[in-house]
Every structure is written in C-alpha cells, then in structure tokens.
Structure 1
Amino acid sequence: MTTMEWSKLLDLERLFLTSSSDKPRRPAYDQDADRITFSAPFRRLANKTQVHPLYDNDHIHHRLIHSVETASVGRSLGLEVGWWLEQEGKVEKGGQAIVAGLVHAACLAHDIGNPPFGHSGEAAIGAWFAEKFDRGGGLFADRETCFAEEFEAFEGNAQGFRIIAGLEMHRRGGMRLTHGTLGAFLKYPVTARTRQTIAVRDSGLKKFGVFETERAALETVAARTGLLAGDASAGWWRRHPLVYLVEAADDICYNILDLEDAFTTGDLGYGDVAPLLSAVAGFSPKDDRGDTPQEKIAVLRAVAINKAFEACSTAFAENYNAIMGGQFAGALVSASAQADSFATIEALASERIFTSPRKTELEVMGRNLVHRILDGVLPVLEALAEADFVEDRIDGYPRQLQRALGIDLRHARDPYSALHTLADYVSGMTDRYAVKIDRMIRG
C-alpha cells in the first residue's frame, strides 16, 4: 500500500516562497501561529457565534475562545502523537515538536472562515445565493463560469483557506503559512465542483474545502506535503494525517464545552450534564467537599478533555496504517474508546441544545438579517459590473454605499470574483457588526 511520508508531511517551507523561513530559535510553525493570532480575521472571531448568538454572558464560548481552546487541546494531541511517532522511529528526533506546532497553528485557524451566526449563518449565505442563481440574470447569469455550487453550499472551511492562503496580507499566498500547517488545516482537500464527482464514503470528504480561486494553493500544498491523490478522480487528495488531530481537538472541545455552556445558560440542568461528562471522565464528583454544581461541572470538564485526548491519541496509533495510506475515512473520536460517550453527547445536543428557544429565535433573526445585508450590498457589485469592473467609474448611491460600508473591491475583476467579494464581505462580519450594517442599510 502506498503511504505518505513524514519528511514531506512536515514541510516547513512557505506557500509560494522558495527560500526557507525556519529559524532554530523561532521555528516556522511558531511563526505560523503568530501570523494567525495577530491577524484581523482571527481577532474578529471574538464576536462570532459558537453556539449561542449575541449572548451577554461573558462565560459563554464564542469562536475566538473556542479556537484558542481547540489549539490547546490540539497541541497536547500533537505532543502525545508526536512522542509516539518518535518512539516508533517514524519521525526523526525533534519531530514531536514539529507535529505539535503544526497542529497548534492549524487549530488556531480552523474556524477563521466562519461567518456571523455560526452554521446558521453559513446556511443563510448559501440559501441566498441559491435563490439568486435559480432566478439567474446579471452576476448570476452563468452558473458554470461562476462555479455556483461554491456559493449555494457556502462553506466556512473553504472561506478559511481562502483567507489564510489568499486574501490576508493582500499578496499571493496570503499569510504564506508553511505547507505543513496548510496541509493540517485542509480538512477537505477538494473543490466544490470536483467534490460532486467522487464517492463520499470512500474519500471521507463530506464537504468541499477549497474554492476554485485557491486551486493553485491546494495543488501546491498537496504536492509539497506528498498527499495521496484520490483514486477515482483527478483534482482531489486524501487527507493529511494531522487533519485528524485538528478535527479531534475540535470535536473534543465543542462537544464537551457545549455541554458546559448549556449548563451555564440553563438550557440543561446539572442532572443532564454531569452524567455525560462523568462517562467521559471516568468518575463522578463527590458530594462531601462542598463544591457548587458549577465547580463540579468545571472539574468534570477538565478531566473529560484529558481523557478524550488520550483516547484519540490511542485511536491515531491504532489506525496509523490506514491514516498514512489515505484509507481512514472516519474521525478519531468515533474510532476511540470514547465513541459511545460522544455519540450520546451529540444526540442530546441535537435534541436540546441546538433547538433551544432563544437559539432558534436568533437563528431566524440572523438568517433574515444576513439576507437583507446581501440584498443591500449587491447593488455595489452590480454597479461595478456595469462599469466593466473599473472601481473609479462607480458613482451615485453604489459609490456612496461602498464607501460607507468600506467594501474592498480590489479582488472583483469579473462576475465570479465579484460574487466572492460579496461573500468575503458578509462572511467576514462579526455578529454585532452585522446587526449594525443591517440597521444602516435599512435606514
């Protein structure tokens, strides 16, 4: 069986650069983490929904805190798996630090492309574009050349790759992160159009993760890290092994911490949450210490995270050959000894957390708000198209609106890129900024 090679998978050269940037005193993966941490898109995650939109409670997770916590768990997973890889002689000495560093950086960026209002915002953007393409005309006249499927199933993972490998810093390669970090980030190394041609079950690619605009970056990362090409079709690749660690860190954090948040908001009671966390942690809190329910939940959460990442590390080792051969299509959490516990948590979350009255009401509000903003901003891009995509020729209300909203038109050169400019602008908003822009547009 053909397998991937760690000497390529841990490549520390930078996207679209030929010279090495690794320094003994400041490794390239640490530079990657710094570039992500100090970027504006990362900072905006502080006001983007994790689960509960527009919450005033400071203890509820938003996307930034979730990303930082995921990166912490990811680094621990990387250290554990990296140590095992060194002990087994699968990576050279020092490989542990590189594995941990790349996973940490990729985890920091894993949600950087998410729009306002979380997954409901993703669905709202996709539904708006689908309706426009169904009607056709104007910027939406040509489905084929505009790659309509990218917009109709708008995907935060692809938007994230677009930001870090294209948009940010306004240069070819974006942040110019290392190929190793980008490989670990690419949860779905396939474009939307190619994704339609492959078997999901065999590939493990439930979604697409790259827009056509970043196809060259995808191809470069795949070549430099030695990702295995898909069996049934050109243009897609098997996942980088470190993707499974990034995904596991995300799964661990959102499952466990969504429970803690639901307890904090009152959507779930202590009797609902404690048994689920106890099942993962492997113990039940004692009642003779005088701890409050909040303190007991906090202890259970901490121990549960530790037990879960240990289980996922073991699952990586147990499925190592399949992962390296591109044949592992599942998730480490589902393949671990904690699989049943996490399945129970996910079932409860679907039944009671994601359907809580306040969350549902705000998701309806967010959907309508996102649609109004897209409707309100569209005239700017339509005017640009009428001006043959020469920004200086725009005048009247569209020019006034573009200036008032600060819409960056530098990347809009044709209908396809104009639609991405529209999606870039709206998906980059924080929840509260979206509310502000909606009010401005509505007068």
Structure 2
Amino acid sequence: MEWDRLLCSERLRNRPYEARPNRSIFVQDHDRIVFSTPFRRLANKTQVQPLYEHDHVHHRLIHSIEVSSVARSLAMRIGDWLEGIGQIAAGESHSLSNIVQAASVAHDIGNPPFGHSGEAAMGDWFAERFDDARGMMAEIETAQRSEFVKFEGNAQGFRIIARLEMYRNDGGMQLSKATLGAFAKYPVTSAVREDIVGEGRAPYVGLKKFGLFRSELDLFRKAAESLGLPEETGAAGSWWRRHPLVFIVEAADDICYNIVDLEDAFTTGELRYEAVRDVLQEAAKRPDSVMGDLSPAEHIALLRALSIGAAIESCVEAFKANYDAIMAGTFSDSLADAGPMAGVFEKMKALSRDEVFTARRKTELEVSGRRVIGNVMTGILPVFEDLARVGWDRDRLSDHNRQLVRALDLDLRDVTNAEEALHALADFTSGMTDRYAVRIARMLTGI
C-alpha cells in the first residue's frame, strides 16, 4: 500500500471540495460527524455501565471523544516518524492525525442501546424470527441472514456515515475516502466472512467480525479502489486488507476501554482501590507511586493518565516494529497486543472480565435491556409486515400502523422489499438511546 493513495481526500460520491489553508477535508470530516444526530445520541448510550446515574461514569460519547484524543496523539507520533524516514511528505503527519481523529469519533456511532449486550439482543431476536421463517422473513436469502442474526455495530456505523446521515442514499456524510478506510475495522460482509472463517478462528484480524452490510458493499468498494487497499476474492465475494490507520484507531480504543473502564469500576465500587491501583501502577511503570495528599479517586486518576501515556508509547513501538507487515496488509494483530505492554493489557482484560462484566447490577440491567430491545422490535414488526402485505405502499397501511409510524417517527422512505424492511427496523432500534428504548418499550407494551 502507498501513502499517497491511502491519504486520499476524495469524497465518497466525488463531490468537489477544495480544502482551505486552515480547514482540511479531514477536519471537515470530523466536524460533520460530531455535529450529527447519531453522534449526539451516544451521550445516552451504554459504554460499560448501563443506565447509570453517576455523572462520572463514561457513556459512548465521552468514550468516543477520549478515543479520538488518544488516536490523534498516536497518529502525530507515528506521523512524525514516517516523515523522518521519508515515507510521507513533510506536514502529512497532520493529515494522519486528522483522519484518525475523525474515524475515531465515529467508531461507535452504529452501536445499539445497552452496549454489546444490545447487539446480541438484536441478533437473537432476528434469529428467532428466521427460525420461524414466515412472511417477509422467509424472503431473506439464507446466506444473508447472518448479517441480521449476528448484528454488528461496526457495519451499522458504516451504513450511517456512508448512506443514512446527511445526504441520504448519496454518500451519507460524504466523508473522505481516507476517513472511511480508517473507520472500517472489518472490511468484509457477513456472507463472505462466514464462507472464509466458518466456526473457526479468523485467519486475518480484519476477518474477526464483519463490518459491511451487503447494502453498503459497493460504497466501500469505491473507497477501497481509490485507497489502493489489497482486495482478496473468494467463492462468496471480495474482502479487503485493512487500511494501516485502522490499527491506530483500534489501538486508541483498546487503550481507553482497558484503562478507563477500570477507573469507572473503581468509581462505581465494583473494583477495590488496591486492585485498580496495582495494575495501573504496573502500566504506568510507577510501582512506587504513593497517594500522599491525594484522595483515592485522585490517585487513580493520576495513574490512569500516566498509564495512557505509557500505552501510547507501547503502541507506537509496535507500529514501528511491524511497519512492513502493516503496509503489506499481512499484520494480523492489534498494536496493544504486539507492544511491550501486552502483558499488562492482558491483566486489565482479566480484571474486567472476572470482576466488572459479571457484576450483579450490570448483569441485571443487561437482562432487562435485552427484554426492552425484544419488546421494541416485536412491537414495531407489524408495521413492516403490514407494509409487505400491501405491496410496500405506505399509503395503504392500516390506521393503527399509520399511527405507530407517526408516534415513532419511523422512516419508511427506502422500504420497498423485505431486506430494506429489516434494515429499517435495525436502523430504528440500534439508533435509540438506552432511556428512549425503555420509554418506547413501555409505550408499545402498554406497561
């Protein structure tokens, strides 16, 4: 891969744009995302702690802003190094940092309410309906069902930024192709991934999940061709090697959720001060750090800041050490797991897995959240079933279903077949905030 193509500033749909001296297209990408409605909704979506009243616990929007800050720092360090060895032109380090900052603020924009348990809840709901396979559910091809059954926020995120938001069906936000490439962690559709991976381990990190719906495949293909991403072709279709900047966005996310989730767990009382202090002291390389006049919360905050700095250094070193493989499209690891801090990251993951993700309050609310999502989707499904019955003519919906459409502000503009109907259902459900989902579930069930 070549940097002069990887930093492509062409817009999706090739809208002409001339950058001003003080406002590059990549900065405009960032601004379009942060001023969008889907980004604003992240303020009321779960990061780890669902429906928490504590003001200091992270939600998806704050997490996304922090990830973009860390990604920018990572990219500036790596960009300076690339300039120094003559891989990119002088000043292009700013392009790298602006691209990853934009991609990072969007990285969770497709996540449904209630975090990853929300993804599982949506997937399970679709799986139950496909098992029954009546009506319009029977019209979905077997090979395509997996993109609903294994609903993926990454694919929904690409759908939002490249199709739904702003210029609907005309490139979406019309972001630069470089930003779209840096966003796409998993440049593969569900059907192609299933054909390659099956139930085994992914042979390449970009195949760990799927990140594209079939409906947006051609949009990504246009970006990938301009960026020069290596394309692989199999029996079920094409997939692509990752854009090198994806690894920076992913590393920033890994740094933030591994370190900051521990701070949140201390804040909520799910982890003891000593447990968080010990692992952050190891990460920060400050085993002798003492509280002094600091409160426990202030000490943890200090160690968190020092740990993030050390983690950035570790990921920069990993990028340098694996640069040739990254540019060849063969590197198949994360920078967090390939750097000197890999062992500490593993300890953080184990602490979260064993103590935080299984906490009683979180478990109870995830169970409740799954029921909320199920009630919402079950309550809305009759609208789409009625629409299928009347030949996809919105004007012929029953009075009650018209009332539902008005009450929920359901967007049916693109719904002309079963596939589009299920995507519209997923668009609405995944776009809800946690509290809005609870309110709508109550309305639809009459509780």
User: What is the TM-score when the length of structure 1 is the normalising length?
Assistant: 0.97
**Displacement after TM superposition at 1:286 (Å):** 4.1
CA distance in 1, matches of 2:69, 2:443: 39
SS in 2 for 1:113: coil
**Displacement after TM superposition at 1:305 (Å):** 0.3
Please name the residue that 1:222 is paired with: 224
> CA, structure 1 residues 90+243, in 2 after alignment: closer, same or farther (shift >3 Å)?
same
Please name the residue that 2:213 is paired with: 211
**Displacement after TM superposition at 1:397 (Å):** 1.1
Give the one of 187, 190, 193 matched to 2:191: 193
Asked if the contact 1:161/1:209 (under 8 Å) is kept, the reply is yes
Asked if the contact 1:146/1:415 (under 8 Å) is kept, the reply is no
SS in 2 for 1:127: helix
Asked if the contact 1:140/1:146 (under 8 Å) is kept, the reply is no
**Displacement after TM superposition at 1:201 (Å):** 3.6
User: Is it true that 1:305 corresponds to 2:305 in the alignment?
Assistant: no
2:339 aligned partner, one-letter code: S
**Displacement after TM superposition at 1:203 (Å):** 2.2
Asked if the contact 1:133/1:141 (under 8 Å) is kept, the reply is yes
1:31-430, aligned counterparts within 5 Å?
31-144=28-141, 147-169=144-166, 170-199=168-197, 201-204=202-205, 205-230=207-232, 234-284=237-287, 286-287=289-290, 289-430=292-433
> CA, structure 1 residues 289+15, in 2 after alignment: closer, same or farther (shift >3 Å)?
same
Report Cα offsets for 1:412-443 as digits up to 9, x if no partner: 11000000000000000000000110111112
Regions of 4+ moved over 6 Å:
none
**Displacement after TM superposition at 1:289 (Å):** 2.5
**Displacement after TM superposition at 1:14 (Å):** 0.4
Give the number of equivalent residue pairs.
440
Report Cα offsets for 1:277-326 as digits up to 9, x if no partner: 11110003644621111110000000100110111011001000000001
Asked if the contact 1:13/1:21 (under 8 Å) is kept, the reply is no
Asked if the contact 1:147/1:416 (under 8 Å) is kept, the reply is no
2:23 aligned partner, one-letter code: R
> CA, structure 1 residues 136+231, in 2 after alignment: closer, same or farther (shift >3 Å)?
closer
Q: Which moved more, 1:356-365 or 1:217-226?
A: 217-226
**Displacement after TM superposition at 1:25 (Å):** 2.1
CA distance in 2, matches of 1:239, 1:283: 35
Q: Which moved more, 1:127-136 or 1:281-290?
A: 281-290
**Displacement after TM superposition at 1:348 (Å):** 1.1
> CA, structure 1 residues 146+370, in 2 after alignment: closer, same or farther (shift >3 Å)?
farther
Asked if the contact 2:140/2:418 (under 8 Å) is kept, the reply is no
**Displacement after TM superposition at 1:18 (Å):** 4.8
CA distance in 2, matches of 1:45, 1:243: 21
1:178 aligned partner, one-letter code: S
**Displacement after TM superposition at 1:147 (Å):** 1.9
CA distance in 2, matches of 1:414, 1:349: 43
Which residues of structure 1 form unaligned runs of 5+? none
CA distance in 2, matches of 1:286, 1:43: 38
CA distance in 2, matches of 1:230, 1:275: 45
SS in 2 for 1:230: strand
Asked if the contact 2:373/2:437 (under 8 Å) is kept, the reply is yes
> CA, structure 1 residues 92+355, in 2 after alignment: closer, same or farther (shift >3 Å)?
same
Identity of aligned residues (%): 53
Q: Which moved more, 1:146-155 or 1:194-203?
A: 194-203
CA distance in 1, matches of 2:261, 2:407: 37
CA distance in 1, matches of 2:413, 2:113: 23
Which residues of structure 2 form unaligned runs of 5+? none
